[in-house]
Amino acid sequence: MMVGMELTEATTQELRELVFSVARTAAPDISRAQFERAWEEALHDAMQLGLEVLKVERRGLSYAAAANHLGGWILLPRVHFGIFDLLQFEIPRHAHDGLRAYFEMARSLDEEGVGQELLFLLARGTGVLSACVRYLLYTAVRVNLWLITWHAPKVEAIGAMADLDVRAEDLIRKRLADATSYAAEVRPFTLVVAEALLELGKAIEQREESLVGVCIEERKHLATVTKLAAAARAYTAGDAAITRNTYAGSLSNGERLPAAMLTQRHPLSLTSEGATNVRKSRLRPPSASVVRCVDLVREVYGDKGVLS
């Protein structure tokens, strides 16, 4: 049985002050009032996400299955797929230096393992916010593996990343149940990312074995999907979402959605059904001057992922 830490009023206030100090570092001009409004909105969303996660867990569904279940949930699939919107979101030129400085500061904290044991203790709780933390840890594992394999689109095309979506949840739960993960010298998230890399390697091997002896047409299809996956990783958020949707359904990559549902899943990058349909005919790689969040992250962290 997992024994964890719940967010009390005191720990919530402590967390709020920590986040405010980080926010001031990334955006020195932010006022206390602006931060408080953003904090309350974020806390409300975290509560809503946590409620959905609890319902998914009580029904015995995997996070990946719930995210791909059309019409079943609201925030969970938006986080599951929207993380790519954030990674591939175009960063305004005036924000490059500030965001780069923030990532460099975050990397120095990551290298010290700051907060890893606290997050896992919170994730072991039974409350709504603990459920939210569990899901965000799961999402962070996925993000790390995507960053590490960013220039290997075939890993996505053969379905290994979809396999990892399921295995990552199992790894998180295994680590949460292991009391030895919380010794002062242990970095539980670092361990999970290392374990996820091993699992990804197994998934790739199994997928490639299943492709041995396939017909020429299937190999051509795989080559096409690999090219589309590479294109998706080169685009900014909205175009990437549309491109990934074109090969959804291939090799366990989910289900292809009509424009209306795709827009609901990616509200940050796709503003309306009509705009999504128009955008399909205008897909093009961004110019070399466009900088996305993933570009800055990989510039600072390299190929090692973050928080690892």
pLDDT digits 0-9 by tens, 74-103: 899 999 999 989 999 999 998 899 888 888
Q: What is the pLDDT of residues 49-69, one digit of tens each?
A: 999 999 999 999 999 999 988
**Which ranges of the chain does DSSP label H, i.e. alpha helix?**
9-26, 32-58, 63-67, 75-87, 96-111, 116-123, 128-148, 153-157, 160-177, 188-210, 216-234, 237-246, 259-265, 273-280, 293-301
Residue 69 has a pLDDT of 83
Please determine, for residue 1, whether its predicted confidence score (pLDDT) is greater than 60.
no
Mean pLDDT over each residue of the chain, to the nearest integer: 85
Structure tokens at 159: 């379905």
Please determine, for residue 184, whether its predicted confidence score (pLDDT) is greater than 70.
no
Residue 253 has a pLDDT of 53
pTM assigned to the model: 0.85
Q: Note the residue count of the chain.
A: 308
Residue type, 23: A
The answer to whether the beta carbons of residues 296 and 93 sit under 8 Å apart is no
Instruction: Give the pLDDT band (50/70/90) at residue 179.
Output: low
Structure tokens at 282: 């205008």
Rounded Cα distance between 172 and 238, Å, is 30
13-22, 106-115, 147-156, 183-192 — most confident range? 147-156
Q: Give φ, ψ of 292 to 5 degrees.
A: -100, 170
- Bridge partners of 290? none
Q: What is the pLDDT of residues 199-252, one digit of tens each?
A: 999 999 999 998 888 888 888 989 999 999 999 999 999 999 999 998 886 655
Q: How many CB atoms lie within 10 A of CB 103?
A: 19
